Structure 1
Amino acid sequence: MSRKSLDLVPTVFLVLAPVVAWAAWLGWDQHQDVHADGSVSGPYEAWQVVGLVLTLLVPVCWAASRGRATAAVLGTTAGLTVAAGYDWSDDASGLYLVGAALVAVAALLSTLAVCAVVSAVRGRPRPGA
C-alpha cells in the first residue's frame, strides 16, 4: 500500500465514525414519546445525544492530537450531516433539510472548538521536559 493510500485511511475513518455512531446512538430510535399530559417529545433522549457526542470526542481528539484537525473537522461534519439527512429524509415537510443544516453548523463549530483546544494543549511543552 502506498503512503498516499495510508494517509487516506484516517480520513475515511473520520467520515465513517460519525455515521456508525449516529446509527448506534440515534438511528434505532424513530418514535416520538407521548406523555400522559398529551405532550410529545423525542424521538431522541438526552442520554442518546450525550452518548453520541462523547463517542465522537474520541476520534476527533485522536485526529487533532496527530495534526489531522482538518480531517477531523471536515470528516465529522460530513459524516454527521449525511447521517442526519438520511435518518430524517422521510419527513414529507422537507424541514429535515433545515435540521441537517443545523447539525452541519453545530458539528463544524464544535469540532473546530475541540480541535483548537487539543491543538493548543498539544503545542504546550510537557512538564519536566
Structure 2
Amino acid sequence: MSQGLLRPVPRLFPALVLAGVSCALWAAWLGWDQQRDVQPDGSTTGPYEAWQVGGLVLSLLVPVYWAASRHHVAAAVAGTTVGLTVAAYGDWSDDASGLFMVGVTLVMLGSLAATAAVSAVVRAATRA
C-alpha cells in the first residue's frame, strides 16, 4: 500500500476518537433514561433531567480541551459534533411523531457552535 493512502489516517484519528468518546458519553449520561415523567397536572417532561445534560456538557469539555490544546481544533469540533449527532439520531429515531430529525438537527447545530466556541477559546488560551 502506498504511503500516500495512509497519510490522512493520523489526521482523522483525533476526530474519530472524539466521535467515539462523544457517543459513549451520550450513552453514559442520557442513554439509560428513556422514561417521560408525568406531572400531577397530566403534563409530561423528560426523558432527560437537567443534571444529565449538564453532566454530558461538562464531561465533553475534557476531550474537547484535550484536542484543541494539541492543535486539533477541527477534529475537536467535527468529532464531537458527529458523535453527538449520531448518538441523538440513534437514541431518538424510534420517535413516532416524526419530529426527531428537528431535535437531531438542533443537537448538530448546537454542538457545532458550542464546540467551535470552546475550541477557539482553548486554542487562544493555550497559544499565549
TM-score between both structures, scaled by the size of structure 2: 0.90
Q: Do the aligned residues in 1 keep the contact of 2:14 with 2:79 (CA within 8 Å)?
A: no
Q: Name the structure 2 match of 1:118.
A: 122
> Residue 119 of structure 1: SS of its match in structure 2?
helix
Q: CA deviation at 1:6?
A: 4.6
> Residue 67 of structure 1: SS of its match in structure 2?
coil
1:100 corresponds to 2:104: yes
Unaligned runs of 5+ in 2: 1-5
Find the partner of 1:67 among 45, 51, 71: 71
Residues 89-114 of structure 1, C-alpha deviations (whole Å, 9 max, x = no match): 00122210010000000000000000
Find the partner of 1:87 among 84, 87, 91: 91
For 2:78 and 2:11, the matched residues in 1 are separated by 15
Q: Name the structure 1 match of 2:113.
A: 109
Find the partner of 2:81 among 72, 77, 91: 77
Q: Name the structure 1 match of 2:22.
A: 18
Q: CA deviation at 1:4?
A: 5.8
Runs of 4+ with >2 A deviation: 2-11
Identity %: 59
Unaligned runs of 5+ in 1: 125-129
Question: AA paired with 1:37?
Answer: D
For 1:78 and 1:4, the matched residues in 2 are separated by 18
Q: CA deviation at 1:48?
A: 0.1
For 1:54 and 1:5, the matched residues in 2 are separated by 29
Q: Name the structure 2 match of 1:38.
A: 42
Q: Name the structure 2 match of 1:55.
A: 59
For 1:53 and 1:113, the matched residues in 2 are separated by 13
